[in-house]
Amino acid sequence: MRLRVILPAVIAVALVTGFLLFPRRPSPVAYVQGPNFPNRRQLQYLAVSGGTGIESIYLVKAYEYDPSKDLSGQPAVLAKIQRSLEKVTVPAGQLFDIVVVVRATAPGGIAVVRKEYLRVRLWGSSEGGTFESSSTDEMEHVLENSGYGTSQGYLRANVVFDNDGDRYLLSPGQLLCLEYLALDVVR
């Protein structure tokens, strides 16, 4: 009878002692810092209201998402950058893609806006060096195309940067700086 009373107490004390003496190590993380947008104050939202520009930047687990879908709330999203110079964490050792969400309206002289008229440029740096990339039509996935054929029309697209197919991979504590990001709408 006494054993039934004492045994649960001994087990509880052993478990608490184990958690205190051997705490679970946190998973190692790396960091990604968003670009500085000169016309935006630090930590001011990137999103444009009704115009053309960068809406947000997603860091997404490689191979685990559909680039033609809205990434909001998707389980593959590791982090989202919404502000100028915002710094976020990602799991170290996790392959990921950088997905830039853009919104574009037709500039003067163009009746419609199409993904073929978009170009997103991204430059970055880390301990491993620098990189520079410009989007191609294959990297641009249209999410929404509203008012097509009208001067009020716009489109939203996910533009996927996957390090030329090698994906991005950071070591514990490593920092990836997205130095420059621009959207051009050209004919």
What single string gives the DSSP state of each residue in 99-150?
EEEEEEEPPTT-SS--GGGEEEEEEEEETTEEEEEE--GGGEEEEEEESTTS
Query: What per-residue confidence (pLDDT) applies to 128?
Result: 80
The closest of 34, 59, 30, 58 to 44, measured between CA atoms, is 34
Contact 135, 119 (CB under 8 A): yes
At 159, is the secondary structure helix, strand, or coil?
A: strand
Q: Quick one: which of 53, 57, 68, 54 has its CA closest to 34?
A: 57
**Cα dist from 32 to 47, 129, 142, 161, 164, whole Å:** 19, 14, 25, 14, 19
Backbone phi, psi, residue 169, to 5°: -145, 125
pLDDT of residue 43: 47
Asked if 68 contacts 125 with a C-beta cutoff of 8 angstroms, the reply is: no
CB 37 within 8 A of CB 47: no
- How many beta carbons lie within 10 A of that of residue 23, not counting itself? 8
pLDDT tens, residue order, the chain (187 aa): 566 667 666 676 666 666 666 666 667 999 999 998 766 554 445 655 567 888 899 999 999 999 999 999 999 999 999 988 999 999 999 999 999 999 888 766 555 677 788 889 999 999 888 999 999 999 999 998 887 666 677 888 999 999 999 999 999 999 999 999 988 877 6
The pTM for the full model equals 0.81
